[in-house]
Amino acid sequence: MTITAIITLLLITTTTATTTTTLPSDISALKAIKSAINPSTIPSYSCLGSWNFTSDPCANPHITHFLCGFSCSSNRITQLTFDRIGYSGTLSPLISKLTQLVTIDLSENKFTGPIPMSLFTLPNLQTLILRSNSFSGSIPPSISNLKSLETIDISHNSISGTLPDSFSSLIMITRIDLSFNKLTGSIPKLPKNLLELAMKSNMLSGNLLKNSFSELAQLEVVELSENLFTGTIPGWFFLQPSLQQVNIANNGFTGIEIFKGVDSNLVAVDIGYNKIGGYLSGNFTAYPVLSSLSLRYNQLHGPIPAEYSKKTTLKRLFLDGNYLSGLPPKEFFTGKSSVSGSLGDNCLKSCPTSSQLCLKSQKPSSICQQAYGGKVKPKS
């Protein structure tokens, strides 16, 4: 090859690089996405305000046009990451033409209408964040097509319907946040590499089923508070091998089974505001690193097992709002225990008000007598 030929080749290469032309179908998808948004909600200083199709989206440098809201890799759009400015409108189904998309983050805007079905065909999508919008409709079974999906956050929207069984085939997914929606039905079988599951504040119901949680060797965080779950919290639930934090407060659970968790990493458990009756088992104290436990506002009866007052890892203990009776373990009050929290609003005898654990007063004896069938006289 002659020097001239090499120079010519270089010139051609540089020329093509500076005039990178975005794949035409990606450009038309961006146009459709912008035009589905109400123009009055696109300020000139916003990312979408800078999307002016007289220039090429992926061509550098970006001086006045296409300043932000997306990323390219060579001539393809790989990320849609909108600013949180209150764009209102719908999400165009033509988003599915952006087949190289890896990340979609449209959080904290005012999108309405369904998540387009076509979005669930994007083969390379790893991150889908639509948090804090007003998306409605349901999550279709075809979500299982998103084979690369690692994170999904559609929290704070108006998603309804039941969760599809096909969820379990999302084998790359580690983080699911569908909190603050209108989901109904039970929890389907969950994908096996899940680390964090959050479905707080929906209308999910039924029992916690072994089938949903089987084989979840990495599950660390479960946030299912403010739903309509019922039945007995099964013993295996707390024994999941990687579990660290559980919040299942504000449901309709009526019972609890606690097996001793010798190898457990469980740090924090919140089961407050349910309808759990029966006696309080001391078995939670067998969890080696348990630091925070709430069973407040349930219907627990009987004594507080002394183990709770001797467990050195325990820093926060909320047992208030039950019908616990008898003398509270004195170790709580000897200055050795570092537990804070509350034992108030129970039927305990002689809870020393010098301790902040006892600041909230106990129930009136008439209520306690009624709770114990009038046979026991729990408070002198």
Give contact residues for ligand NAG (rule: CB under 6 A). Answer: 52, 54, 257-260, 281, 283
Cβ proximity to ligand NAG: between 15 and 54 the closer is: 54
Cβ proximity to ligand NAG: between 3 and 262 the closer is: 262
Spatial distance between the Cα atoms of 363 and 337, rounded to a whole number of angstroms:
25
Amino acid at the residue 337: S
Positive or negative CA dihedral for 93, 95, 97, 101? negative
Cβ proximity to ligand NAG: between 56 and 196 the closer is: 56
Spatial contact of 298 and 275, defined as CB atoms under 8 Å apart = yes
Cβ proximity to ligand NAG: between 132 and 298 the closer is: 298
Give the E-state strand segments of 3-157 in sequence order: 70-73, 76-81, 88-89, 103-105, 110-114, 127-129, 134-136, 151-153
Spatial distance between the Cα atoms of 32 and 138, rounded to a whole number of angstroms:
23
Cβ proximity to ligand NAG: between 167 and 253 the closer is: 253
Angle at 87 between CA 86 and CA 90, to 5 degrees: 135
Spatial distance between the Cα atoms of 329 and 163, rounded to a whole number of angstroms:
45
What is the closest distance, in whole angstroms, from the C-beta atom of residue 281 to ligand NAG in the complex? 4
What is the closest distance, in whole angstroms, from the C-beta atom of residue 55 to ligand NAG in the complex? 7
Instruction: Name 27's Cβ contacts closer than 8 Å, sequence gap at least 6.
Output: 53, 56, 57
What is the closest distance, in whole angstroms, from the C-beta atom of residue 88 to ligand NAG in the complex? 19
Cβ proximity to ligand NAG: between 133 and 264 the closer is: 264
What is the closest distance, in whole angstroms, from the C-beta atom of residue 233 to ligand NAG in the complex? 11
Cβ proximity to ligand NAG: between 19 and 54 the closer is: 54
Cβ proximity to ligand NAG: between 151 and 264 the closer is: 264
Q: Up-side HSE of residue 232: CA atoms within 13 Å toward CB?
A: 9
Considering only CA atoms, give the Rg of the chain: 28
Spatial distance between the Cα atoms of 320 and 358, rounded to a whole number of angstroms:
9
Q: Which helix (H) or strand (E) holds 210?
A: helix 210-213
What is the closest distance, in whole angstroms, from the C-beta atom of residue 308 to ligand NAG in the complex? 14
Spatial distance between the Cα atoms of 143 and 172, rounded to a whole number of angstroms:
13
Q: What would the two tokens of residue 97 be?
A: 């033409």
Instruction: Name 101's Cβ contacts closer than 8 Å, sequence gap at least 6.
Output: 77, 78, 79, 80, 95, 122, 124, 125
- Residues of 338-360 as b/e, b for ≥16 C-beta within 10 angstroms? ebebbbbbbbbeebeeebebbee
Cβ proximity to ligand NAG: between 60 and 356 the closer is: 60
What is the closest distance, in whole angstroms, from the C-beta atom of residue 45 to ligand NAG in the complex? 12
What is the closest distance, in whole angstroms, from the C-beta atom of residue 58 to ligand NAG in the complex? 17
Spatial distance between the Cα atoms of 194 and 240, rounded to a whole number of angstroms:
12
Cβ proximity to ligand NAG: between 55 and 73 the closer is: 55
